[in-house]
Amino acid sequence: MIGIFDSGIGGMTVARAIEQLLPDHPLIYFGDIARTPYGPKSPETIINYSIRNTEFLLEKGAKLIIIACNSASSVATETLRQRFQVPIIEVISPAVKKAIKISKSGRIGIIGTKATVKSNVYRDKIQKREPDFEVFSMACPLLVPLVEEGWLNKRETKMIIRRYLHPLKNKQIDTLVLGCTHYPLLTDLIQARIGKKVQLIDSSIETAHYAKEYLENHPQLVPQEADASHTYYTSDSTETARKVAKRIFNRPMELIVA
């Protein structure tokens, strides 16, 4: 069983991609919406929450953990790998791999939460493989609350995206990583603002592809019989969470409070 956790509902974009790529693999999701958002919080706090979330998924039978949150991936991956025996997949490396593959100019933009940008993990991972690449990062802390509110096409959201992307506009980037699992819900607005020539990378989709490949290479993690059970847990129950979940999956979602 694949266990996926996120600070809230943004990571459901990863779960959705996993459901599509691996429809016969059981999946369990935990969204920590009682403590959401993680992005503005300290690494210590994010690590504590990530440990607790992983323990929950392991108790429920997960054999593989996906950290479907860029903030937690940025600061908690090493701790989780040291602490737990199961494979831990994070959302950064798959997006980095894709960015390096498609960028021609070697100039890559990253947008994410404060925790993600401050950790410099995208820049470090890109430059470890391609030391000559230049990476330009911008923290966009208000985009998560705007998505959580469902303000996906409001004028104010466009203006705020405009303001955040402005410093990246004259950096001649040809690739922009959506380094937060909430941002795929704003793809159109971000693409319109950054320009058609810049290719967007959706870390959710890249992570799902990576997980699929990983399971093909580790068949012992795959159940012998098809089992399409997908269970979604959250640490709190709110109407907004149900609404955004429904929007992401395009179906009514049962969220079980754990």
C-beta closer to a copy of itself: residue 105 or 237: 237
Q: Which residue number, 34 or 222, has a Cβ lying nearer to a copy of itself?
A: 34
In the complex, least distance from residue 88 CB atom to a copy of itself, rounded to whole angstroms: 23
Structure tokens belonging to residue 36: 């959401």
Helix (H/G/I), strand (E/B), else coil: 78: helix
Q: Assign 13 to helix, strand or coil.
A: helix
Q: Which is nearer to a copy of itself, 145 or 223 (CB)?
A: 145
Residues that bind a copy of itself (CB under 8 A): 33-35, 40-42, 44-45, 114, 141-142, 145-146, 148-149, 151, 155-156, 159-160, 163, 235-238, 240
As measured in angstroms, the least distance from the Cβ of 187 to a copy of itself is: 20
- Contact at 8 Å (CB) between 15 and 4? yes
Beta bridge partners, 109, equal 136, 176
Using a 10 angstrom Cβ sphere, with 0-12 exposed, 13-18 middle and 19 or more buried, the burial of residue 254 is exposed
Choice between 159 and 226, CB closer to a copy of itself = 159
* Distance set, CA 183 to CA 13, 140, 189 (Å): 9, 10, 10
**CB closer to a copy of itself out of 142 and 152:** 142
| Distance of closest approach, residue 161 Cβ to a copy of itself, in angstroms | 10
Query: What's the CA angle centered on 96, arms 93 and 101, to 5 degrees?
Result: 130
Question: Active site residue: 69, 110, 139, 168, which one?
Answer: 69
Q: How far is the CB of 118 from a copy of itself (least distance, A)?
A: 9
How many CB atoms sit inside 10 A of residue 124's CB? 12
Is 180 assigned a catalytic role? yes
The question of whether 69 is a catalytic residue gets the answer: yes
Long-range contacts of the stretch 52-59 (C-beta < 8 A, 24+): 53/5, 54/3, 54/5, 54/80, 54/83, 54/84, 54/88, 56/5, 56/30, 56/233, 56/258, 57/3, 57/4, 57/5, 57/28, 57/30, 58/3, 58/84, 58/86
SS3 category, 87? coil
Tell me how far, at minimum, the Cβ of 148 lies from a copy of itself, in Å.
7
Catalytic residue among 180, 194, 201, 253: 180
Catalytic annotation, residues: 69, 180
